[in-house]
A and B are shown apart, each in its own frame.
Chain A
Amino acid sequence: MLTVENLRKSFGGVIAMNDVTLHFDAGSLTAVIGPNGAGKTTFFNLITGAFPPDAGRVLLGGEDIAGLRAPDIMRRGIGRAFQIASIFPSFTVREAILGAVNARRRWYARVGRRFPLAEAHAQADEVMELVGLSARAEARSGTLSHGDQKLLDIALALALEPRVLLLDEPTAGMGPEERWQMMETVHQLWQRKHMTLIFIEHDMDIVFKYAQTIRVLSYGKVLAEGQPADVRRNAQVIEAYLGAHYRAGDA
């Protein structure tokens, strides 16, 4: 579904992405891990068109999208949620999601009728229910708790009906119990929607419980990839990132 080939990007003199080649199968659930500064968010940024790569290709369903700008890429079926929830504070939850649905359906520039368009409601309701925000539908986004804001961020991405969903540290800033709840929600919506889901995560317990496959990045290069069991035995990964604690057998 999603393949990056020889992806390269530098900022000033710093090489953030160093000839990375990765593939993500359709419908897979992959975790991207690695130490801070490894280039994980840069990776997301390159795929979604926040800035263009210096070299390399990004193939979405076979089409090379490298170099396209964000709006054009998002329209081709990628959805993205951010590490720090990026939402529309003055909108209610329902309004925000309706707005995202409008964007998806290209209705967002229509002037003939009033917002919200009746056709958008069904999809918005479904998305709210998928992330579990239906109860908070009329709350103003700016007043939501941190966790709910992250859910809303994901909901906005879901409204785009993406083939590929990128979640940047979905559990960032959450307490232990909340993390598991969030990941459970993510897992469930992945199962229901069958999209290709890629998430960046630092909490190894969560990674090893939920991820089908793992990609490890370090210093802008791919350090390892594969099944969780293999990755946690990989000596390089342990040295660079996991530490002795996660050697095979430890939970």
Chain B
Amino acid sequence: MPKSPLTRDLLFALGALALLAVLPLVFPGKAFSDFVIRLSAFAIFATSLNLLIGYGGMVSFGHGLFYGLGAYSFALLMQKAGASIPAAFALTILINGGVAAVIGAICIRLKEIYFSFLTLAFQMLLHSLIIAWTSVTGGDQGLTGGLPRPPFLGIRLDDPHQLYLFCCTVLVVSLLLMRHLVQSPFGYTLRMIRDNPRRAEFLGIRVWRVRLLAFVVAGIFGGVGGMLISLFVSSAYPDFAYWTVSGEGVFMILLGGMSVFLGPAAGAGILLLLNDLVTRFTEHYSLVLGIVILLFALGLRRGVLGFAADLWAKRAATARVAASQARPAA
């Protein structure tokens, strides 16, 4: 009996969550759970960015703004305002949504490269604000003093195992919500706008509003990612709002696949693995990452196997041509 797509996604999500819950038994030890927690933050971030890039055709270079904003809002609420975790969560979502609405309203009226760069410029503005406002944000040292983790609803997030489960749950729920959005009429309208915004207007669709809403939702989920990372490191650092976060987000999306919903999440996983691997051998992670990105952008767009196959085919063809030229004319 065919299940509705919604049920299928729900079951998949539950299965994934169950799997994630069980895995620490197979891989005990901090390295694994730390990896998954970081992955949760990045996967949510990358997927939220893909709402804009892949589904909306809006290439934002400044999505890291919401990651950083989420991290700092949450951390500051916890540290300075003594908020409970659910309250801080909710407030951060409101803050991110509000900021996204304002910035989106300004940026969305622009096309293409101007939109991209303006979003980046806003992100760097936030970054400068964070660095300059030392009294509140601790400047380029980041927030010192750690984060309190008051228990809520019987959950104690100072217990690493509970933190792990919490992050996994947030990951699965966030992805599920975004999935639902993308598969809703709104999501399809967003795709129509991506394909042909002019035609969408001539169908009576208010393109601007749909885009703005997508931007706000993406900003909110980007902030959720920021919250998780801030929870993980018990602080917030200016790096969270640095442009490299946006760049890595874009790379994660391209690495894992723009047109598959879980692509960005997969890309996040691959990139994190690469990060862990490389930093074990050298401190020049940027160099290696840069080379990998170049290889990807210039040749390996169809993946490592695709590249190899192309190379093989080219060699075979060249060999054939050379052979036929070597033969004397019949």
Which residues of A pack against B, CB within 8 Å?
48, 69-72, 74-75, 80, 82, 86-91, 95-96, 98-100, 102-104, 107-117, 156, 159-160
Contact A103 B205 (CB under 8 A): yes
- Selected from A82, A96, A108, the residue in CB contact (under 8 A) with B205 is A108
Q: Which residues of B lie under 8 Å from residue A160 when comparing CB positions?
A: 203-204
Q: Does B191 contact A (CB under 8 A)?
A: yes
Q: Does B199 contact A (CB under 8 A)?
A: yes
Contact B205 A87 (CB under 8 A): no
Query: In this complex, which of B191, B198, B203, B209 has the most chain A Cβ atoms within 10 angstroms of its Cβ?
Result: B203
Between-chain CB contacts (< 8 Å), 10 pairs: A70-B201, A71-B205, A87-B199, A88-B199, A90-B195, A91-B195, A103-B203, A108-B186, A109-B210, A111-B185
- What mask results when residues 176 to 216 of chain B are scored 1 for a CB within 8 Å of chain A, else 0? 00001101111111011001101111111111011001000
Q: Does B309 contact A (CB under 8 A)?
A: no
Question: Which residue of B is nearest A80, CB measured?
Answer: B202
Looking at the assembled complex, report how far the CB atom of A211 sits from the nearest CB atom of chain B, in whole angstroms. Answer: 24
Which residues of B pack against A, CB within 8 Å?
4-6, 180-181, 183-189, 191-192, 195-196, 198-207, 209-210, 213
- Selected from B183, B195, B196, B201, the residue in CB contact (under 8 A) with A115 is B183
Q: Which residues of B lie under 8 Å from residue A159 when comparing CB positions?
A: 203
Given contacts A111-B181, A114-B5, A115-B183, is CB(A156)–CB(B188) below 8 Å?
no
Contact B183 A103 (CB under 8 A): no
Looking at the assembled complex, report how far the CB atom of B73 sits from the nearest CB atom of chain A, in whole angstroms. Answer: 25
Given contacts A70-B202, A86-B198, is CB(A114)–CB(B183) below 8 Å?
yes
Looking at the assembled complex, report how far the CB atom of A225 sits from the nearest CB atom of chain B, in whole angstroms. Answer: 26
- Selected from A69, A72, A86, A102, the residue in CB contact (under 8 A) with B188 is A102
Contact B204 A109 (CB under 8 A): no
Contact A95 B188 (CB under 8 A): yes
Q: Which residues of A lie under 8 Å from residue B205 when comparing CB positions?
A: 71, 103, 108
Looking at the assembled complex, report how far the CB atom of A22 sits from the nearest CB atom of chain B, in whole angstroms. Answer: 21
- Selected from B188, B198, B206, B209, the residue in CB contact (under 8 A) with A99 is B188
Query: In this complex, which of A72, A90, A111 has the most chain B Cβ atoms within 10 angstroms of its Cβ?
Result: A111
Alpha-carbon separation in the docked complex, A120 to B292 (Å): 46
13 new A-B contacts, CB < 8 A, other than A75-B204, A111-B180, are: A71-B207, A86-B199, A88-B192, A91-B192, A96-B192, A103-B200, A103-B205, A104-B204, A108-B186, A108-B188, A110-B184, A111-B185, A115-B188
Q: Which 9 A-B pairs have the closest CB atoms?
A: A74-B204, A88-B195, A103-B203, A108-B189, A75-B204, A86-B199, A115-B188, A70-B201, A111-B184
Contact A156 B185 (CB under 8 A): no
Question: Which residue of A is nearest B177, CB measured?
Answer: A111
Given contacts A70-B201, A156-B203, is CB(A114)–CB(B184) below 8 Å?
yes
Alpha-carbon separation in the docked complex, A116 to B209 (Å): 21
Contact B203 A74 (CB under 8 A): yes
Contact B203 A100 (CB under 8 A): yes
Question: Which residue of A is nearest B189, CB measured?
Answer: A108
Looking at the assembled complex, report how far the CB atom of B50 sits from the nearest CB atom of chain A, in whole angstroms. Answer: 15
Query: In this complex, which of A48, A90, A95, A116 has the most chain B Cβ atoms within 10 angstroms of its Cβ?
Result: A90
Alpha-carbon separation in the docked complex, A116 to B180 (Å): 13
Contact B201 A88 (CB under 8 A): no
Contact A87 B196 (CB under 8 A): yes
Given contacts A71-B201, A156-B199, is CB(A115)–CB(B184) below 8 Å?
yes
Contact B202 A109 (CB under 8 A): no
Alpha-carbon separation in the docked complex, A110 to B188 (Å): 10
Alpha-carbon separation in the docked complex, A100 to B185 (Å): 11
Looking at the assembled complex, report how far the CB atom of A215 sits from the nearest CB atom of chain B, in whole angstroms. Answer: 22
Q: Which residues of A lie under 8 Å from residue B183 when comparing CB positions?
A: 114-115
Question: Which residue of A is nearest B201, CB measured?
Answer: A70
